[in-house]
């Protein structure tokens, strides 16, 4: 016979130990619990997947370290997808901390020690090739190969700064910055975060303002994402997608329903959904940190639900609800 009283009075340290086990184990053993992409995430993925070298997107690292666990995987996933499609990517930030997080996110995509990543070629290294007749990305890559450069084993391709990628970084009063980029990107950012002249970059010459940009994905843990809607979508018709924390997501569903934004990634699950779509589309060899994080989150939730169910069973099966009623005089 089960001693329900002993079960209800179990030392809570055992519960903490079980929680620790289910949180730690998925980091070493991939569980692969199913994550089904939502329509809101799929719409962002489909738009990025329809673009190519003649298009361009913005990714706004508009969050601080407090929401990095949710927002950073979103930015990495979209950046990786765009680069695999050879879609030029401009990166901005609404705060100095956001610029630092953007650099970290980009560095993780350019870490060639990890198979499936990209080789980053700084502006200063390839810029002399322009004098040799560079007229487009394909001719640049051909010239780069002819010069004796080769991809490391497992790398997916080269990313040429100024052609495929430009980190613009942080500027104050970001709402005014977005408003100004509706007329000219270069007037707001004469140089990139590393001091390179933006006006000389091919991707800036092909996309001079936000009217010539095909999508802006803003990753935010605050209302900073609204800068892109108010000053981008409303002013110049810029398509915008949100990547927000889970607690913020419900506030922005009306913007999807009204057609003001293309789609939305909500929390860690939204990032994991995007990773699943990337993997299914052949853009990555495996899912990333968000998908593994969902294993941790899901298992922890399952265990807590199990605790609640067992606690209620013990409470009623042991007759403790009756004892409580008697003590209260009912």
What would the pLDDT profile of 286-328 be if each residue is shown by its tens digit?
A: 888 898 888 888 888 899 999 888 888 888 876 666 565 555 5
Q: Do 73 and 153 belong together in one domain?
A: yes
- Residues 216, 56: Cα–Cα separation, whole Å: 9
Q: Is the pLDDT of residue 134 over 80?
A: no
Q: Do 264 and 279 belong together in one domain?
A: yes
Q: Do 75 and 13 belong together in one domain?
A: no
pLDDT grade for 122, boundaries at 50, 70 and 90: very high
Average pLDDT in the 189-206 region? 93
Q: Do 213 and 202 belong together in one domain?
A: yes
Dump strand ranges (E) for the chain.
57-62, 89-93, 118-121, 157-160, 165-170, 215-220, 240-244, 264-266
Q: Do 134 and 46 belong together in one domain?
A: yes
Q: Do 2 and 132 belong together in one domain?
A: no
Q: Which of 54, 38, 37, 48 is nearest to 217 (CA)?
A: 48
Q: Do 175 and 221 belong together in one domain?
A: yes
pLDDT grade for 115, boundaries at 50, 70 and 90: confident
Q: Do 219 and 165 belong together in one domain?
A: yes
- Cβ proximity of 241 and 262 under 8 Å: yes
Q: Do 117 and 23 belong together in one domain?
A: no
| Domains in the chain, number | 2
Q: Do 7 and 122 belong together in one domain?
A: no
pTM assigned to the model: 0.89
Among the three residues 272, 287, 302, which one is the final residue of a domain in this structure? 287
Q: Is the pLDDT of residue 138 over 70?
A: yes
Q: Pick from 120-124, 130-134, 136-140 the range whose average pLDDT is largest.
A: 120-124
Q: Do 246 and 139 belong together in one domain?
A: yes
Q: Do 248 and 117 belong together in one domain?
A: yes
What token pair was written down for 249? Answer: 């997501």
What stretch of H or E contains 251?
A: helix 246-257
Tens digits of residue pLDDT in 27-74: 788 777 889 999 999 999 999 999 999 999 999 999 999 999 999 999
Q: Is the pLDDT of residue 330 over 70?
A: no
User: Domain range spanning residue 67?
Assistant: 35-287
């Amino acid at each position: 016979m089960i001693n329900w009283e002993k079960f209800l009075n179990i030392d809570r340290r055992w519960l903490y130990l079980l929680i620790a086990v289910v949180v730690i184990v998925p980091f070493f053993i991939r569980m692969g619990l199913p994550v089904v992409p939502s329509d809101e995430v799929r719409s962002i993925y489909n738009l990025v997947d329809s673009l190519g070298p003649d298009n361009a997107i913005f990714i706004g690292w508009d969050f601080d370290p407090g929401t990095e666990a949710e927002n950073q995987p979103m930015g990495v996933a979209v950046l990786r997808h765009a680069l695999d499609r050879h879609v030029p990517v401009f990166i901005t930030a609404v705060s100095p901390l956001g610029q630092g997080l953007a650099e970290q996110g980009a560095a993780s995509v350019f870490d060639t020690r990890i198979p499936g990543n990209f080789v980053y070629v700084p502006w200063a290294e390839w810029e002399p090739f322009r004098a040799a007749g560079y007229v487009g990305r394909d001719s640049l890559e051909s010239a780069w190969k002819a010069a004796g450069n080769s991809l490391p084993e497992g790398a997916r391709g080269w990313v040429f700064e100024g052609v495929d990628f430009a980190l613009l970084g942080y500027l104050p009063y970001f709402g005014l910055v977005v408003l100004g980029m509706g007329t000219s990107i270069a007037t707001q950012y004469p140089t990139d975060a590393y001091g390179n002249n933006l006006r000389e970059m091919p991707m800036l010459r092909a996309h001079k303002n936000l009217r010539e940009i095909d999508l802006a994905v803003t990753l935010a843990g605050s209302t900073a994402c609204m800068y892109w809607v108010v000053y981008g979508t409303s002013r110049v018709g810029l398509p915008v997608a949100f990547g927000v924390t889970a607690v913020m997501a419900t506030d922005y569903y009306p913007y999807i329903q009204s057609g003001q934004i293309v789609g939305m990634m909500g929390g860690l699950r939204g990032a994991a959904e995007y990773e699943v779509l990337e993997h299914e589309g052949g853009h990555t060899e495996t899912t990333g940190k968000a998908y593994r994080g969902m294993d941790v989150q899901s298992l922890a939730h399952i265990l807590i639900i199990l605790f609640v169910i067992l606690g209620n069973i013990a409470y009623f099966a042991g007759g403790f609800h009756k004892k409580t009623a008697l003590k209260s005089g009912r």
